[in-house]
Amino acid sequence: DKNGIEQVVLRNVRGASATVSLHGGQVLSWKTERGEELLFTSTKAVYTPPKPVRGGIPICFPQFGNRGTLEQHGFARNKIWVIDQNPPPLPTDSNGKACIDLLLKPSEDDMKIWPHSFEFRLRVCLAADGRLNMISRIRNVNGKPFSFSFAFHTYFSISDISEVRVEGLETLDYLDNLHQKERFTEQGDALTFESEVDRVYLDSSSMVAVLDHERKRTFVIRKEGLPDVVVWNPWEKKSKSIVDFGDEEYKQMLCVDGAAVGKPITLKPGEEWTGRLELSVVPST
């Protein structure tokens, strides 16, 4: 509980944990059984709504970035969600997971800026082996179709940005936010970092890995219903312009998001979309 906002802590039998805030439905912490934090959160983060906390996993919906008329990354991350007491079952439901179900419905004010009635159900689960699962289900309860973009804006905690590489995006096309969203093709091998990066990789395979050489660990991102991967690091200059972010903190974070940005998702009345993300961490050499 920070500033009166409810947080739910999930724990598994081995002592791993995850913290989810009702503010934004945002995961704020994900720890291994040894208590190591796997997600980055800024020391300058502000926990007072409506702005989202700088770090963890904010949810971008119904807009990604500034690709539309809504506020940056949409409004879902700014809202207070409720606990969903009676969530509809999922085919993957099983024992041995600690889960929380949250629900967001638009307020009257939201309907003024985005006039579409939806039910957004978020399930966050911590599995017995420490994996973090996130499932978003978005249903159109409107009389007409609507379209949206989506991202699980995941801030991974890393040893040093110059020590990490991302595998699984080789040869893909990407939209570069630093070049008017122009489309390029990734040429190199794995992605490494030596300057600001702000890209949307299009139509990736279902698995992407973030290798942290110094910490000898690899984050594995598995996704379904989320064709794209956003990669973001603000680097030195942009960091200084972000008020809730330390000047040097870009070295310790990398955002790699499972996302649906390249082609917006369209839902007809009564239709539901599901996007799944699974994060795990494995030792590497």
Q: Which residues bind ligand BG6 (CB under 6 A)?
A: 65, 72-73, 153, 177, 198, 230, 232, 255
Task: Provide, rounded to whole angstroms, the least separation between the CB of residue 65 and ligand BG6.
Answer: 5
Contact 233, 256 (CB under 8 A): no
User: What is the smallest separation between the CB atom of 279 and ligand BG6, expressed in angstroms?
Assistant: 17
By beta-carbon proximity to ligand BG6, the closer residue of 124 and 255 is 255
Rounded to a whole number of angstroms, the minimum distance from the CB of residue 209 to ligand BG6 is: 19
> Which residue carries 């409004």 as its tokens?
75
Please give the Cα distance from 137 to 127 (Å, whole number): 19
Q: How far is CA 17 from CA 10, 31, 76, 104, 132, in A?
A: 5, 5, 24, 24, 9
Please name the residue ranges forming H helices in 27-135. Answer: 108-113
Residue closer to ligand BG6 by CB (options 17, 41) is 41
Nearer to ligand BG6, 72 or 205 (CB): 72
The one-letter amino acid code at 135 reads I
Asked if residue 50 has a cis previous peptide bond (ω within 30° of 0), the answer is: yes
d(CA 7, CA 28): 9
Minimum distance, C-beta of residue 176 to ligand BG6, in the bound complex (Å) = 10
Our CB check for ligand BG6 shows the closer of 28 and 255 to be 255
Alpha helix positions (H), the chain:
108-113, 235-241
Direct distance between the N- and C-terminal alpha carbons of the chain, in angstroms, rounded to an integer:
38
Of 65 and 168, CB closest to ligand BG6: 65
Nearest distance from C-beta of residue 258 to ligand BG6, angstroms: 12
Classify 161 as helix, strand or coil: helix
Shorter beta-carbon distance to ligand BG6: residue 135 or 151: 151
Beta carbon of residue 166, minimum distance to ligand BG6 (angstroms, whole number) = 14
Q: In the complex, what is the shortest distance from the CB of residue 182 to ligand BG6, in angstroms, rounded to a whole number?
A: 14
CA distance 221 to 208: 5
Nearest to residue 223, comparing CAs of 279, 174, 265?
A: 279
- Which is nearer to ligand BG6, 73 or 222 (by Cβ)? 73
Instruction: Tell me which residue of 59, 51, 39, 23 sits closest to 135, measured CA to CA.
Output: 59
For the bound state, the minimum distance from the C-beta of residue 200 to ligand BG6, rounded and expressed in Å, comes to: 8
Q: Give the residue with the Cβ less far from ligand BG6, 46 or 207.
A: 46
CA 170, CA 118: separation in Å to the nearest integer?
36
